[in-house]
């Protein structure tokens, strides 16, 4: 199946299973429309003559990736699509040389997932009952995940998970001191929060509007990336997510300064469309599209992407 | 019911009762389309880390409000939807800690409405027969309304009420001298009219395009708010209305300098969808949405909203 | 019938009579879409307080008009709609205090039309056989028309009339010398042609894109009006046409420097919808809408409209 | 049949024959939508008065053309539409005084096509097996084609042809030395590639986004033409293709500095709609539209088009 076919088939299957609400956003769904529209604003400056050696391989902190394309934190919708969906996704991402990212709630078989051998990020929401937060992070570390993280942008909660409240820099610093793995702060969308992420000592940030699940009218990370990069510089890696569907989108995210791109809905659609194969196909086909467009724009590796390739 | 469900259900009920014309605008309905489109131009700059204490409570002159969300002047469509609609709306707004606003014609049971205990603004159109204007204002004062006002933008009349003609500064000054309650001038949409409102001695102005019921191709208050605030400064409160449907819209209006936001069609739709409960739900759910987005943008109270939260 | 109803009903009648092609434009119909879209770019700056005395009456050279709204040159489609359509249109325009404008071919009952008493402009296309041009102009003068004109923008012809070729300044000067009535040059859409119109000694120009009947992708007169007014100044009156459907559109045209606005399709639709009454209703209702919006923008007469009323 | 009718009928025939996929583009088809949209950004500044002598005739290197409208490289879809389609297209283009352009694979009856007497460009893709490239070019020269060319923008291949890889300047120089006919480099879309084309010694370049068949989100040549002309100057002719459907589009391409315009899909649609006649009609009708719009914008020949005619 081509990417188009996977996305179409995946949507049909989710519709048939009554799971379409997992793909929806809050309120007017401005965020979802904007996450799609933002990519149509940028075209590529072509460099067709003089082939270069191109690789999509990249390193994210200590993780080697086949391409700068990983999974964004999702959990509960996956077992709704297929009972052992999380394991299938883990295996698919392992085969694709990618990275997994899990969210709330903590999966009961997290250890089993980790044993698949794919690098795993476990992010936790800032539950108002802070003891849960630290408990889940500890359990994730015990299960052997690669990185742990906090979804700092969950606010009072999302469409699906309530009972959260924003964390302070002090609370996040405390978590940073307690964890033994790299700490990811997910949901940075302004220079203010980027500064606080540095202050906390975050090892990675995720520039994200949470897929339209928190509040409406948030910008796309691309809209604010210059401001965020202005704060972060090259101190720590920035992962970006939000509406990425094609290799061309990935290159645009990299050109704005992301080191890797997270996929949310495409993983769900891939799983719905064709199980483990579908998820793997999404990642590897996007990587292949990325490689083709890198060749045509003279970008030799993900770290070499820059704004000058965009028009 | 969620806000979406209330708006959808309310529209269906009004359609079924043949009352949809109450929701229409004049001529090409540019104003209605623009009142919706204008909100999609602004996104929020998120401040997710470091929770702040947030309150939607605010004071408008001498009125305490649970949130900066009040009713815009409407009258006649309400009893068409439900016979005792005005009383239901009054009770709903009272429970929501909001403010009522009534227009033309003067309600026969105005005193009964006032006795519900909700603060009430009674606005009057500039009927060419000026004696009606002063008579109605006096009757409103006698009935105990909180504020009185003139709809200065009615021009020759609206889609539904004819026989008006613009008032002069002198005429408005005369009214100001005669009334014992705060005087609202509704329909200020340019710096010229803002200056005249100050000259008249208005206590509150409403920046409004009259919901598309006067002339076509009027701007949204947001389009001209900088010019109006340039004249008014912080001398008197500015209420804004026009197409507000969500808490996010309300925060945008506040960010442009409004102290409170008026709701017209949402009140009608709430009443049509679910009577008193529906009206209350519209106001309280919008207030709750407002609170969530205030938390995520670092706005501690309505008066602290500013343009810097918008992108 | 309201304007909306007239336009809708007129379109239905023309559809039923197989005359819709009269409403179409050349090639991609960009011009027709743009003629509609251009009006949505401008909103009004309201002046609601302090009523002024407003009149829509105006003078165009030696012609007194009830409003700055006249007919644009059309001929052949009118008798297709109603056999004695031209006489009906003449009577309607006379009653409305407006002006008629006739194009190609020359009407056989032109004298009868003139005798209705409405001021009449007869424009002639630049037929390659120049003898026809002068012959028709002479016949029009003999029939007693008020002004005569040349459609200088017909190029090689329009969708409906072929066998034309552009006229030179010298040819136009020759016509100017021969005619005894004011000479209108219709189809000026650039400063170059405006300069040539002055050189010819034209008494009136019509800024027009010929209703989308000549070539595609012509701008609307509003797009180029500043350049044209830069050349013409206030030496001679400028009539504008192109997509005007409402009083608000008319005021926008005046604000850009037109002295009067021409109506094409609205006249056809009015006639189709309701005969003589329909045509009259189109003109008088647009004039009434114009008056209302003039009152709300502080424009006391058509000559006082200016760009400052637009946002 | 008019152009509209040809395009509509052609699309129907291709649909009926299951050939619609030949008209599609890669991935999201942004390129196809943009190739259409880009033409709506420019309007014409009209010069209606003072007719000029206009000719669409032009010379492209040593080729005399009736109009600056030629065929863009296509091959395989044509015999799918009609068995002897290539000969029909050749005859149609010969009659229209135009130029043919053939792509991959090399036609078995290339000699027969050449003998029709139409000037022929044979372009070859940069197959990774470079021996094929040179072999095909030699065979094309032997068959008597007028010019030969390389599709430098094929990258790793297109939707339909795989097994390519970008050529280096040195490889292209080597080809230039070997060929005895003028060398065309097709697919220049940036100043970098334009510089390399000059370095190679190309005789003609084609500014093109390959009809949306290579990578997504490429700009239209019009978007980057100023940069390309900045490099190329008037040293060698620039052919442009991408979404041209009407004479007005052609004039816009010329105004941006192209010497001739290539047609891809319109040739397919013309052939599908009406065989040889259809192809001829497409070219001659576009030329006639071009002539009309040249007359109305004061452009006496294709080389005289300039940016000042656009608004």
Would you call B19 exposed, middle or buried from its count of C-beta atoms within 10 A (0-12, 13-18, 19+)? Answer: middle
- Give the pLDDT confidence score for residue D235 in this predicted structure: 84
**Contact assessment for residue D31 and residue D25, using Cβ atoms and an 8 Å cutoff:** yes
Contact C26, C277 (CB under 8 A): no
Note the pLDDT of residue C66.
98
The pLDDT confidence band at residue D50, using thresholds 50, 70 and 90, is: confident
Contacts of C219 in chain D (CB under 8 A): 43-45, 311
- A153 neighbourhood in chain B, CB within 8 Å: 46, 48, 296
Burial level of A2, CB count in 10 A (0-12/13-18/19+)? Answer: exposed
What's the pLDDT at B280?
Answer: 98
More confident residue, A28 or B160: A28
Report the gap between the CA of C167 and the closest CA in chain D (Å): 6
pLDDT at C283 over 80: yes
How far is it, in rounded angstroms, from Cα A186 to Cα A224? 15
D40 close contact with C: CB closer than 8 A: yes
What span, in angstroms and rounded, lies between the C-alpha atoms of A87 and A73? Answer: 15
Which pLDDT band, with edges at 50, 70 and 90, does D76 fall under?
A: confident
Task: Tell me if C132 sits within 8 A of C158, measured CB to CB.
Answer: no
Which pLDDT does position B158 carry in this prediction? 87
* A311 contact D CB<8A: yes
- Residue among B34, B210, B213, B220 flagged as catalytic: B210
- Residue of chain B nearest A185, judged by CA positions: B49
- Give pLDDT tens digits for C203-212: 999 999 999 9
Question: Where does the pLDDT of residue A104 fall: very low under 50, low under 70, confident under 90, or very high at 90 and above?
Answer: confident
The shortest C-alpha distance from D108 to chain A (Å) reads 29
Q: Which of B219, B254, B274 is nearest to B69 (CA)?
A: B254
- For residues C275, C280, C283 and C285, what is the CA-based torsion angle, rounded to 10 degrees? -100
| pLDDT given for residue C158 in this prediction | 87
pLDDT at D14 over 90: yes
Mean pLDDT of A221-238: 96
Q: Do chains C and D touch (3 or more CB pairs under 8 A)?
A: yes
The answer to whether the CB of C284 falls within 8 A of the CB of C274 is no
pLDDT in tens, C3-60: 999 999 999 999 999 999 999 999 999 999 999 999 999 999 999 998 789 999 999 9
- Please list the ranges in chain B whose pLDDT falls under 70: none
D46: CB partners within 8 A, 6+ apart: C153, C187, C189, C190, C193, C218, D296, D297
Band (pLDDT 50/70/90 cuts) for residue C146 is very high
Confidence (pLDDT) at A50: 87
Instruction: Report the alpha-carbon distance of residue D224 to residue D189 in Å, rounded.
Output: 7
Distance spanning both ends of chain D, measured CA to CA: 31
Chains that touch D (3 or more CB pairs under 8 A): A, C
Chain C CB within 8 Å of residue B228 CB: no
Catalytically annotated residues of D: 210
**B40/A contact by beta carbon, under 8 A:** yes
Nearest CB among D40, D43, D48 relative to C155 is that of D48
pLDDT in tens, D281-301: 999 999 999 999 999 999 999
Q: Is C180 on the interface with B (CB under 8 A)?
A: no
Q: Report pTM.
A: 0.95
Percent of chain D scored above 90 by pLDDT? 94
Residue A159 — pLDDT band, cuts 50, 70, 90?
confident
Contact C278, C1 (CB under 8 A): yes
C48 interfacial to chain B (CB closer than 8 Å): yes
| Residues contacting residue B21 through CB under 8 Å, at least 6 positions apart | none
Structure confidence by residue, pLDDT tens digits, C244-264 = 999 999 999 999 999 999 999
| Residue B76: per-residue pLDDT | 85
Give the closest of A152, A214, A219 to B49, CB-based: A152
Q: What is the pLDDT of residue C142?
A: 97
Tell me the nearest-neighbour CA distance from B217 into chain C, angstroms.
5
**Minimal-distance CA residue of chain C relative to B197:** C49
**Collapsed DSSP state (helix, strand, coil) of residue D81:** helix
Select from C35, C192, C198, C215 the residue whose CB has the most chain D CBs within 10 Å, as the one to mutate to test that interface. C215
Question: Residue B288: what pLDDT?
Answer: 97
Q: How far apart are the first and last CA of chain C?
A: 31
Residues β-bridged to residue A150: A124, A185
Quote the minimal CA–CA distance from C43 to chain B in Å: 5
CB-CB contact of B274 with B22 (8 Å): no
- For chain B, the maximum distance between any two Cα atoms, rounded to a whole number of angstroms, is 59
> Before C274, cis peptide (omega within 30)?
no
Tell whether D176 is within 8 A of chain C (Cβ).
no
The span from the CA of D203 to the CA of D221, in Å, is: 19
Interface ipTM above 0.90: yes
Task: Give DSSP secondary structure letters for A96-143.
Answer: TT--EEE-SSPPTTHHHHHHT---EEEEE--BSSHHHHHHHHHHHHHH
Give tens-digit pLDDT for A180-212: 999 999 999 999 999 999 999 999 999 999 999
A283 token code pair: 């990642």
> In whole numbers, what is the pLDDT of chain C averaged over residues?
96
What's the confidence (pLDDT) of residue B18? 95
């Amino acid at each position: 199946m081509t990417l188009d076919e996977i996305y179409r088939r995946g949507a049909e299957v989710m519709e048939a299973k009554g799971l379409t609400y997992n793909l929806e956003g809050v309120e007017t769904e401005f965020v979802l429309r904007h996450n799609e529209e933002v990519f149509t604003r940028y075209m590529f400056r072509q460099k067709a003559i003089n082939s270069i050696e191109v690789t999509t391989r990249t390193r994210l902190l200590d993780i080697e990736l086949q391409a700068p394309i990983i999974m964004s934190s999702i959990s509960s919708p996956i077992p709704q699509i297929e009972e052992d969906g999380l394991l299938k996704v883990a295996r698919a991402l392992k085969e694709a040389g990618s990275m997994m990212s899990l969210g709330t709630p903590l999966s009961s078989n997290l250890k089993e997932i980790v044993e698949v051998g794919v690098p795993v990020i476990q992010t936790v929401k800032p539950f108002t009952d802070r003891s849960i937060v630290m408990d889940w992070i500890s359990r994730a570390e015990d299960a052997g995940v690669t990185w742990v993280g906090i979804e700092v942008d969950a606010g009072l909660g999302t469409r699906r998970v309530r009972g959260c409240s924003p964390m302070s820099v002090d609370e996040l610093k405390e978590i940073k001191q307690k964890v033994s793995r790299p700490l990811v702060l997910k949901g940075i969308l302004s220079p203010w929060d980027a500064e606080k992420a540095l202050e906390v000592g975050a090892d990675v940030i995720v520039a994200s509007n949470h897929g339209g699940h928190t509040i409406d009218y948030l910008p796309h990370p691309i809209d604010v990336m210059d401001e965020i990069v202005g704060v972060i510089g090259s101190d720590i890696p920035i992962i970006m997510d939000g509406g990425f569907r094609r290799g061309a989108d990935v290159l645009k995210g990299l050109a704005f300064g992301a080191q890797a791109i997270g996929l949310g809905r495409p993983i769900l659609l891939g799983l719905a469309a064709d199980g483990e194969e579908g998820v793997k196909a999404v990642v590897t086909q996007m990587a292949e599209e990325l490689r083709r467009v890198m060749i045509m724009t003279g970008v030799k590796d993900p770290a070499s992407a820059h704004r000058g390739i965009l028009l």
